[in-house]
Amino acid sequence: MIQIGVDFGGTKVEAAALDASGTLLAKARVPNPGGYDKALIAVRELVTGLEQKLGARGTLGVGAPGSISPATGVMRNANSLYLNGRRFREDLSDALQRPVRLANDANCLALSEAVDGAGAGARVVFAIILGTGCGGGLVVDGKLIEGGNGIAGEWGHMPLPWPTVEEREGPRCWCGQNSCLEMWVSGTGLRRDFRETTGRDWSGEEIIDAWRGGDPAATTAFDQLMDRLGRSVAVLCNILDPDAIVVGGGLSNVPEVCQRLPGLVSRHVFADRWSTRIKPAVWGDASGVRGAARLWSVEEARELLAAPAA
């Protein structure tokens, strides 16, 4: 019995097959094909290639940018724009002749880390992705929570909490609102803040290196990022009170983020004692594809694969 996950990213499409224990059996990747029909073919060939290599048929879960609208059944908010407005899940199901489950890539990170990653053993796990933008996913009792409108975990599009006078207006977000977290607590936000202060258009890595080297402007930019992140995570804790928060994305590779964050969050949490653990994702970049595979539980996969082919 194998579970296959596909991580449909902006630059690459990766597929991996896991056994019931979560052991990686095989994986493959191709560049993002850049078009809808080519995307269907790419996923089909990745999946069938893994199955031929392993000599077994698997369940299929897909992690994708954006999400499926419960109202229309079509993709929305995907940065691979050709997916938007299409019935990607159903078309993949037709192409591969099997049921397909699809979830947002941040939700897949959350599910992967809740099953056997940094959130393992926790009842309520919230995963945040801090990369070019920021997103989130929620898992409760091992089950992904997507909400009635399919937007649970869209943490990146709430406003920055407890803003200072200078922060109140906030930058315009691509979604049309002002002061979304995505514009503040992300690699993009760090770069913008540093550029507006210094006039230097540095990468996030250059800013982090300069901060570690004692550069005053870089230190200010990083301290502001962390303060804003602390306020933002505190709101999550006040609403959800998760047992564990898992941090993924490029900024999760900066150890000081998870080291400093608890002290900054605790200042704003409405509790006399706060003990939520905050850890970087165990599986890193592999969490997306592993979480996609786990969109089917082991029990569901066994039942489905034991049934006669239609």
Task: Write the single-letter amino acid at 169.
Answer: E
User: What pLDDT band is residue 309 in, cutting at 50, 70 and 90?
Assistant: low
The verdict on 297 and 170 lying in the same domain is: no
pLDDT at 295: 95
Kindly state whether residues 84 and 140 are assigned to the same domain.
no
234 and 269 Cβ atoms separated by less than 8 Å: yes
- Domain assignment present for residue 111? The answer is no
Q: Are residues 269 and 235 in the same domain?
A: yes
The CATH number given to whatever domain includes residue 232 is 3.30.420.40
Is 157 within the bounds of a domain? yes
Spatial distance between the Cα atoms of 125 and 61, rounded to a whole number of angstroms: 20
The full length of the chain comes to 310
- Same-domain check for residues 100 and 160: no
Whether 112 maps to a domain, the answer reads no
> Is the same domain home to 125 and 233?
yes
- 139 and 100 in a single domain? The answer is no
Per-residue burial over 256-277, b if 16 or more Cβ lie within 10 Å, else e, is ebbebbbebbbebbeeeebebe
Residues 47 and 147 in one domain: no
Instruction: Identify whether 198 is part of a domain.
Output: yes
Same domain, 72 and 142: no
Q: Are residues 82 and 149 part of one domain? A: no
132 and 46 in a single domain? The answer is no
Same domain, yes or no, for 128 and 100? no
Whether 96 is in a domain gets the answer yes
Q: Are residues 122 and 265 in the same domain?
A: yes
Helix ranges restricted to H, the chain? 36-54, 88-96, 105-116, 187-198, 204-212, 216-240, 255-266, 287-293, 298-306
CA distance 115 to 5: 15
253-294: pLDDT as tens digits:
999 999 999 999 999 999 989 999 999 999 988 889 999 999
With 0.85 as the threshold, say if the pTM is over it. Answer: yes
Q: Residue 202: inside a domain, yes or no?
A: yes
pLDDT above 90 as % of the chain = 79
Sheet holding 124-130, edge to edge: 143-145, 134-140, 124-130, 244-248, 277-280
Please state the domain count of the chain: 2
In the chain, what's the furthest Cα-to-Cα distance? 66
- Give the pLDDT confidence score for residue 131 in this predicted structure: 86
Is there a domain that residue 110 lies in? no
Instruction: Tell me, yes or no, whether 293 lies in a domain.
Output: yes
What value does the mean pLDDT take over residues 186-200? 93
Mean pLDDT of 1-8: 94
| Per-residue pLDDT reduced to its tens digit, 131-165 | 888 889 999 999 999 999 888 998 999 999 999 99
Range of the domain at 185: 118-281
When mean pLDDT is compared across 94-103, 173-182, 256-265, 295-304, the lowest value belongs to 295-304
